[in-house]
Amino acid sequence: MSLPRLLGSIRARLLVLLLGLLTGSFGLISHRIYNDSVHEVRELFDAQLAQSARLVMGLVRHQLGESERDQLQAVLDQALLRQRGPGTLGHEYEGKLAFQMLDDDGELLLQSASTPPGLLTSLIEQLGLRLPDGELPMRQRLTQLSGDLIGYHSLRIGQHRWRVFVLHDSRDYHWVLAGEREDVRGELIGKIARRSLQPSLIGLPLVGLLLWLTVGWGLRPLRRMAAAIRGRAPDNLAPLMFPSLPSELEPMAAAINRLLLQVNQLLEQEKRFIADAAHELRTPLAVLRIHAQNALEAPDAADRDEALGQLAGGVDRATRVVAQLLTLARLDPNAMPLNMDRLDLLAFLRGELAELTPLALERQQELVLEADEAADYRLDADAPSLGLVVQNLVSNAVQYTPAGGCIQVQLLEEPQALILRVQDSGPGVPGALRERLFERFFRGGEGQGAGLGLSIVLRVVELHRGSIALGDSPLGGLQVSVRLPKRPTS
């Protein structure tokens, strides 16, 4: 599996990131632990070196005779050699101590078998020091260098480097030099420091395994959700139900359920549109077939022309039905949202009525607009859909108002809304039937429409967060009042 495909998994990404951070953190921590361990063990060995020097200093007195020193030398050699012998009780971390004791004249008193010769002389040379010249006794000459000699030093003697601690007894004027080889000392220090890293080295794979199991357990709800979605039938749009869900997945589940609801609504909209179209077009198409058959079977030209005229009228009616159905589908709440812009309703209304005036003049009707020119008629609205409101209301009034009647359009201003009223002098609508006028395909009279005009008006008004009311017109017919807020709230 390629790396990009592998990293496409959330689990793989988390594991790579967490293991990378864990390995880097363990590496930094282990490096710090190793350095601190080396430093502390070096300090411990230095302390033991000083302690050994003081112990040797305490064992030898200035007045110790030569025979006593020989006995002491033998005992010390035996003890140090036994420390290195096979089968001897001890510990692997015991230091390989070498020591040397000099008197106040620099003469050797005691030393271990492993001590390199000329230790003090080599130390003076490598420190770049020189014994003072003159006739002074060696005691005084060495005393003048004591400030530079006393303490810890690292020097090379032969093929090895040594760590040496120098101690000077100001009472007996003895010099004690205790030392350890750096390679032996470093081997012990490295072994101790490496063992301090073993828990980290062993724990890293264990923690990695625990992380792998933990990430898998943490992603289990996501896998269950994915399995539930995969197991859904294509026609099952019911909301997904999960017994328990982490808070991080709740927004995802809510978004999926919201999407399922929207898809279901869109499917219902399509079904409703198909049902509406089938319901409303069945009769016009049957009538068109009858008119076409009558034209084909007409005995003379006059009957044929009459049938063709009725056929043309039927085609016009079917065209209006299809146009209104498409408009109603476009204004569905689940369709694309309206494009709300700032609009001067008075100027817009004048333009729309100018296009509708020929319809009223054809029926010898009077179309009047009443509005206060000084008022502010600006509002946020979608101009195309608002044009459908004006066209449907005025065309309905023209259709149901008898010849010579009057249609009056009024525009009023309120502090937070604008009122659009369309009044006519037609027969009106009984109060019991007014609410049904907003139902699809309901016609309150003998008009030629599909009964969708007021359904379209109601939908547009709802999308503008407005309201619509039907009442009696002062002119004797129907009054339609549309209230549109100046700034619709979401």
pLDDT tens, residue by residue, 377-389: 898 888 877 877 8
Q: Which residues pair with 176 in a beta bridge?
A: 101, 167
Question: Has residue 270 got a pLDDT over 60?
Answer: yes
Based on the domain organization, do 7 and 156 belong to the same domain? Answer: yes
Amino acid letter for position 83? Q
Better-predicted residue by pLDDT, 434 or 209: 209
Q: Residue 397 in 3-state DSSP?
A: helix
Based on the domain organization, do 271 and 302 belong to the same domain? Answer: yes
Based on the domain organization, do 318 and 392 belong to the same domain? Answer: no
Question: Has residue 458 got a pLDDT over 60?
Answer: yes
Question: Has residue 430 got a pLDDT over 80?
Answer: no
- Confidence category of residue 436, pLDDT binned at 50, 70, 90: low
Q: Give the model's pLDDT for residue 393.
A: 84
Q: Give the model's pLDDT for residue 447.
A: 46
Based on the domain organization, do 318 and 407 belong to the same domain? Answer: no
Whichever domain contains 126, its CATH number is 3.30.450
Give me the sheet containing 151-157, strands edge to edge.
Answer: 108-111, 98-102, 175-181, 160-168, 151-157
Question: Has residue 100 got a pLDDT over 70?
Answer: yes
- CA–CA dist 130, 226 (Å, integer): 85
Q: Which one of 165, 192, 219 terminates a domain?
A: 192
The stretches of 231-339 forming alpha helices (DSSP H) are: 250-297, 301-330
Q: Give the model's pLDDT for residue 4.
A: 55
Based on the domain organization, do 476 and 401 belong to the same domain? Answer: yes
Q: Give the model's pLDDT for residue 172.
A: 67
Q: Answer yes or no: is 313 within a domain.
A: yes
Whichever domain contains 405, its CATH number is 3.30.565.10
- CA–CA dist 94, 44 (Å, integer): 12
Q: Which one of 167, 192, 217 terminates a domain?
A: 192
Structural domains counted in the chain: 3
Q: Answer yes or no: is 212 within a domain.
A: no
Hey, how many other C-beta atoms are within 10 angstroms of the C-beta on 221? 16
How confident is the model over 25-50, as a mean pLDDT?
84
Question: Using one digit for the tens of pLDDT, what is the confidence trace for 290-328?
Answer: 777 877 887 888 877 877 877 776 677 567 656 656 665
Based on the domain organization, do 362 and 316 belong to the same domain? Answer: no
Report CA-CA distances (Å) from 22 to 19, 85, 216, 445: 5, 45, 17, 81
Based on the domain organization, do 20 and 135 belong to the same domain? Answer: yes
Proportion of the chain above pLDDT 90, given as a percent: 0
Based on the domain organization, do 32 and 118 belong to the same domain? Answer: yes
Question: Using one digit for the tens of pLDDT, what is the confidence trace for 221-261?
Answer: 778 877 878 877 877 778 877 777 777 777 888 888 888 88
306-311-313 Cα angle (round to 5): 95
Say if residues 464 and 337 touch (Cβ distance below 8 Å). no
Q: Answer yes or no: is 29 within a domain.
A: yes
Rounded to two decimals, the pTM is 0.43
How confident is the model over 108-132, as a mean pLDDT?
78
Based on the domain organization, do 403 and 468 belong to the same domain? Answer: yes
The parent domain of residue 294 ranges over 264-330
Q: Answer yes or no: is 24 within a domain.
A: yes
Based on the domain organization, do 25 and 174 belong to the same domain? Answer: yes
Q: Answer yes or no: is 464 within a domain.
A: yes
Q: Answer yes or no: is 248 within a domain.
A: no
Among residues 117, 104, 101, 98, which one has the least CA distance to residue 146? 104
Based on the domain organization, do 110 and 140 belong to the same domain? Answer: yes
Chain-centroid distance of CA 360 in Å reads 61
Question: Has residue 214 got a pLDDT over 50?
Answer: yes
Question: Has residue 11 got a pLDDT over 80?
Answer: no
Based on the domain organization, do 163 and 279 belong to the same domain? Answer: no
Q: Answer yes or no: is 202 within a domain.
A: no
Q: Answer yes or no: is 251 within a domain.
A: no
How confident is the model over 346-361, as a mean pLDDT?
83
